[in-house]
Chains A and B, each alone.
Chain A
Amino acid sequence: MDFLRPLTWDEALAYKAGRPEATPIQGGTDVMVEINLDKGRPAALLDLNPISELTGWSAEGRTVRVGAGVTYSRLIGELGSLLPGLAQAARTVGSPQIRNRGTVAGNLGAASPAGDSHPPLLASGAVVEAESARGRRMIPIGEFYTGVKRNALAPDELIRAVHVPAATGPQYFSKIGTRNAMVIAVCSFAIALHPGERRIGTGIGSAAPTPRRAVAAEEFLAGELDWDGRSALDPGVARRFGELVAEAASPIDDVRGRADYRLHSLSVMARRALGWAWKDYAGRGSA
């Protein structure tokens, strides 16, 4: 095994171009588990830690560009108001020790259907900034997940940053697990209200081969909500929204939960998350 230690981004791209089989390692919270448990030995590790530019984030217009090295702890501490949905999801990841190392870019690299970043990234319409020595590519999040633990990155590409639109309305993340901490989601759900465009964003986790949106549920709800009057949510609409979210999923039975339980809990989470979001929106009054 080789240990590659680029000090700059360009060096990292050059290494990856020369050794496309090298495994990038950021927080290591997925990569090291695999190595420790001997589930596969990378030909080489490409350590991205020394590249300090990756640990920064910046607000560019209405979008926040989150560098690939920004940890969950920093997201929680620094981006809670700009990216509330993603920060809420970050709060549920692992333990403090895991959050001090783990990153959204690593979550995207692993592309587990259960990854907690994915639902809020889908709900807010994020874009992945991927780059190789050949050039830069902006991948809309909906096109990023291509299969169970597979993503749209080419072998020579690295994630440089994730561009996440700053919240323009309430956002919520909800996750089912067997305890309150340190759990991989049985299933999860994120909602984002985009009042300016009269649009709803959703993201479903751990209930299909890839994280995905519930498009029919989004469209239904956007048309039913009283965006201007901000009147109380119709319980029938909320229930129907929950049903449509569950219909968008295609879960399996596995060690963490059964498919029918996932469908049921998804519809409940969707209904509740909508309730919290609408309460915030209605409570804020016309701005």
Chain B
Amino acid sequence: MRVHIDVNGERLAADDVWEGESLLYVLRERLGLPGAKNACEQGECGSCTVYLDGLPVCACLVAAGQAEGREVVTVEGLASGDDLDQGLDEVQRAFVEAGAVQCGFCTPGLIVQAHSLIESTPQVPEDADIREALAGNLCRCTGYEKIIDAVRLAATRKAQNKAAQKKAPR
């Protein structure tokens, strides 16, 4: 079957999609977006986390046909433009700076999930809230401390940016 999905702001179509195929497979294998990772295919690891209509979900558990006509944002879509230094989202930048990336396999899912936490929390989240939000994202390398550092750093910067924007004269 053919499936149309708004991916990172662009209307894309995938052809020859098998009816039992996951959104993750379509993104990676048919639409050339390998950011979201495939590790468990059973919702346990969170490496495939993407936004579906604004909410983070495991792309491996969404049937491709269920994404028809809906909006998907992947880790690729959080960065803007081609300049990798300038274009990164604060969350992406913070993961690099805090040393929260080792093999990097879990990183795209963590970044989308952390991005959602930060966007939906007005204040800088407490560590307990960060742990709770990331409970469904597994990392085999880092031991999580630096990941939590990265989320705290990104949240702090985003809060500062927002405060600065408010203060700036129009």
Contact = CB atoms under 8 A, between A and B. Distances in A.
B19 A2 contact: yes
Contact of B49 (A27, A73, A97, A180): A97
Interface stretch (B6-14, B36-44, B139-147): B36-44
B55 interface: yes
Interface in A30-47: 31-33, 35-37, 41-42, 44-45, 47
A42 B65 CA distance: 15
A266 to B, nearest CB: 25
A25 B56 contact: no
Q: Tell me which of A25, A47, A96 has the highest count of chain B C-beta atoms within 10 A of its own C-beta.
A: A96
Nearest to B62: A28
Q: Tell me which of A73, A100, A180, A181 has the highest count of chain B C-beta atoms within 10 A of its own C-beta.
A: A100
Contacts of B1: 3
B66 A1 contact: no
A6 interface: no
Interface residues of B, number: 29
Given A29-B43, A47-B65, A97-B46, A3 B19 contact: yes
Interface in A49-102: 49, 73, 94-98, 100-101
14 contacts: A1-B20, A28-B63, A28-B66, A33-B61, A42-B20, A44-B19, A73-B55, A94-B43, A95-B136, A96-B133, A97-B57, A101-B62, A181-B132, A182-B44
A240 interface: no
A230 interface: no
A272 interface: no
A279 interface: no
A199 interface: no
Q: Tell me which of B18, B68, B136 has the highest count of chain A C-beta atoms within 10 A of its own C-beta.
A: B136
- Pairs A-B, 7 closest by C-beta atoms: A95-B136, A181-B135, A36-B41, A1-B19, A3-B19, A32-B61, A3-B65
